[in-house]
Amino acid sequence: MTSEVRAPSAALPGAPVELRRDVSIWGSFTWGYADVGADVYVALGLVMGAAHGATPLAFAAAGFVYILIGFAYTELASAYPVAGGGQYYTTRGLGDIWGLIAGAALLLDYTICISLFATASAGYINFFFPAIREFAIDIGPFQGINLIWAAESLFLIVLLMILNIRGIRESSLFNSLIGGLDMVLETIIIVFGFLFAWKPEMVVFQFKTEFPSTEQFFYAVSVAIISYVGLESVSQAAQETRRPATIIPRTSVSLICVVLLFAMAFPILALGVLPWQALAERESDPVAVLASAIPYIGFLAGHAAAVLGATIVLISANTGVMGASRLSYSMSESHLLSPWFSAVHPKFRTPVRAVVFFSVVAAAQVIFSFLTGPHAMDTMVNMYAFGATLAYFLSFIALIALRIKDPYTPRPYRMPFNIQFKGIYIPILGIVGAFATLAMMGVVLWTHALGRVAGPGWVLLWLAVYLWYRWKNRHPLFSNLPRDWEKEQIAILTSAEEFDLLEQYKHALAERNKKEAKHASQ
């Protein structure tokens, strides 16, 4: 079997250029934190505007689903450490066409992640320039367009595109530095805020008297959960992570705890310091407004929060560029998309075409959103939720399917609470997660007017591209390409240098083959 294993490309002259494993444990953690840590900076004002006094409850409801998603992705990413995330697991567990649908849903989220967080980053920069923040102009039928803010957002997208072409190491270093600084500042704001400004009676008063309607509350929950894409980002970087089976479980579990702590602390603190309207009115820089209201440090913390807010959401946008490019690379390698997307730069070893293509798509989303008027960020969020909930739902189904179809792959981490049946571990929390994300997708279709049109429309567009590509290359349209998943798993573990897991896998396959041979001879 060993002779069949594909050696690392760098060792073979003339072999295709592949991605490089340059992401450390801290880098893997900050890839995820870049997305979910930025949630507070962007979602606080948006969720507050919908959930009012029930904002902490909305974050808690989203947090419950997030924990289930976190457990599922930790198991899948450590067992299958390749680029692709939910799309790869769905392809492997459910088949090609479902993998394409999951991939298309995630591509929608990653491109909006780029446009939304680049726009939010520019919004925090404009904390220092009120004239730019308030600028608006009418162009023909389009009213109240902030052209300067739109131009700033496009500039940041171009900057991130160049950075991601340059390399994963540089991109990861950028995330690591800013992520560390951000966690220190968020801790200072929370500690000083609860010690010197927080009034619990104010939280209770707003919860009792400012509770939203049912539709508004569920809309807020769907907005809060859509920012929890960080764990998907960790799985996208799995193919470039050193010793992924060891690092990813540590990274993901730590990330779940840290993010929940910050995500719950900020809305509870905010409602005890300011009325919800004060933050809802400033959806572009809510954390800076909150920090400015804290005694002793407010004169400095507000400005510091604006600076770090601008940078943390920028690294989240950076994660979006990485995620979209690695996902399309993986889909291309699996023959779900054209090989055009899997071209790797010969010097920097990054998927250069995919980086440029999806950066351009994100720029187009920025232009479209700003043309809708002064609430451009709300327009982006409206399109965002559908992709996340659909991809998460399919990933849960794939996890259950892989437990049944592929019990021999070693799982360094397994979701808690399982029932063993005929040698297979049935994941109880995986089934709960599938129902929870399916319900959340129903909420999104109910409450997001633009999302229920743009989301399915985007997926159908990529489905048409997929069918055209498969037809042109004489591949099966609705069935799967023949694949040797066992051979591929051996190559994956070899490339990741997870030799203990590789031996476990070979031993499990040998035992299975022995049993099958014995059964056949009887």
Do residues 12 and 22 touch, judged by C-beta distance below 8 A?
A: no
**What's the average model confidence in pLDDT over 389-408?**
94
Same domain, 473 and 489: no
Same domain, 386 and 495: no
d(CA 185, CA 310): 13
Q: Which residue has the tokens 């760098």?
A: 10
- On average, the pLDDT of the chain sits at 84
Of the ranges 13-17, 27-31, 67-71, which one carries the lowest mean pLDDT score?
Answer: 13-17
Same domain, 449 and 510: no
d(CA 494, CA 496): 5
What type of residue sits at position 139?
I
Q: Is residue 250 part of a domain?
A: yes
Domain assignment of residue 514, given as a range: 485-521
Confidence of residue 397 (pLDDT cuts 50, 70, 90): very high
Neighbours of 148 (CB within 10 A): 17
* pLDDT tens per residue across span 200-248: 999 999 999 999 999 889 888 888 875 555 666 666 666 666 677 777 7
Same domain, 353 and 489: no
Q: Is residue 239 part of a domain?
A: yes
Q: Is residue 508 part of a domain?
A: yes
**Contacts (Cβ under 8 Å, ≥6 apart) of 466:** 97, 100, 336, 337
**What's the average model confidence in pLDDT over 275-296?**
85
Residue 145 has pLDDT above 90, yes or no: no
Q: Which residue has the higher pLDDT, 253 or 270?
A: 270
Residue 139 has pLDDT above 60, yes or no: yes
Do residues 68 and 62 touch, judged by C-beta distance below 8 A?
A: no
pLDDT value of residue 224: 81
Contacts by 257-262, CB closer than 8 A, 24 or more apart: 258/33, 258/37, 258/183, 259/33, 259/36, 259/37, 259/39, 259/66, 259/228, 259/230, 260/63, 260/66, 260/67, 262/37, 262/40, 262/186, 262/190
For residue 83, which of 336, 405, 306, 459 has the smallest C-alpha distance? Answer: 336
* pLDDT tens per residue across span 438-469: 998 898 888 888 888 888 999 999 999 999 99
pLDDT value of residue 17: 52
Do residues 313 and 230 touch, judged by C-beta distance below 8 A?
A: no
Confidence of residue 18 (pLDDT cuts 50, 70, 90): low
Residue 398 has pLDDT above 70, yes or no: yes
Residue 4 has pLDDT above 60, yes or no: no
Question: CA 325 → CA 107, 318, 350, 360, 483, distances in Å?
Answer: 9, 11, 9, 12, 23
209: left (phi over 0), alpha (psi -120 to 50) or beta: alpha
d(CA 110, CA 324): 5
Question: Residue 420, SS3?
Answer: strand
Q: Which residue has the higher pLDDT, 337 or 167?
A: 337
pLDDT value of residue 480: 92
**What's the average model confidence in pLDDT over 275-290?**
84
Confidence of residue 21 (pLDDT cuts 50, 70, 90): low
Same domain, 112 and 194: yes
Same domain, 294 and 356: yes
For residue 408, which of 479, 507, 482, 491 has the smallest C-alpha distance? Answer: 507
Same domain, 231 and 88: yes
Same domain, 504 and 440: no
Residue 28 has pLDDT above 70, yes or no: no
Query: Which CATH number goes with the domain that contains 251?
Result: 1.20.1740.10
d(CA 220, CA 268): 15
pLDDT value of residue 202: 94
* Tokens representing residue 79 in the block: 């067992």
Same domain, 469 and 492: no
Residue 2 has pLDDT above 60, yes or no: no
* Helices 298-333 & 39-51 angle (0-180, nearest 10): 100
Q: Is residue 20 part of a domain?
A: no
Same domain, 41 and 69: yes
Same domain, 497 and 452: no
For residue 193, which of 269, 265, 268 has the smallest C-alpha distance? Answer: 269
**What's the average model confidence in pLDDT over 90-102?**
95
Confidence of residue 1 (pLDDT cuts 50, 70, 90): very low
pLDDT value of residue 118: 92
- The DSSP bridge pattern shows strands 142-145 and 418-421 to be unpaired
Q: Is residue 24 part of a domain?
A: no
Of the ranges 9-13, 383-387, 452-456, 485-489, which one carries the lowest mean pLDDT score?
Answer: 9-13
**What's the average model confidence in pLDDT over 150-164?**
91
Question: Residue 139, SS3?
Answer: strand
Counted domains in the chain: 2
**What's the average model confidence in pLDDT over 387-415?**
92
Q: Is residue 1 part of a domain?
A: no
Q: Is residue 25 part of a domain?
A: no
Residue 251 has pLDDT above 90, yes or no: no
**What's the average model confidence in pLDDT over 41-53?**
86
Same domain, 479 and 489: no
d(CA 250, CA 432): 23
d(CA 355, CA 167): 11
For residue 161, which of 358, 380, 367 has the smallest C-alpha distance? Answer: 358
Residue 197 has pLDDT above 60, yes or no: yes
Q: Is residue 8 part of a domain?
A: no
**What's the average model confidence in pLDDT over 351-361?**
91
Number of H helices, E strands in the chain: 21, 4
Confidence of residue 179 (pLDDT cuts 50, 70, 90): confident
pLDDT value of residue 8: 39
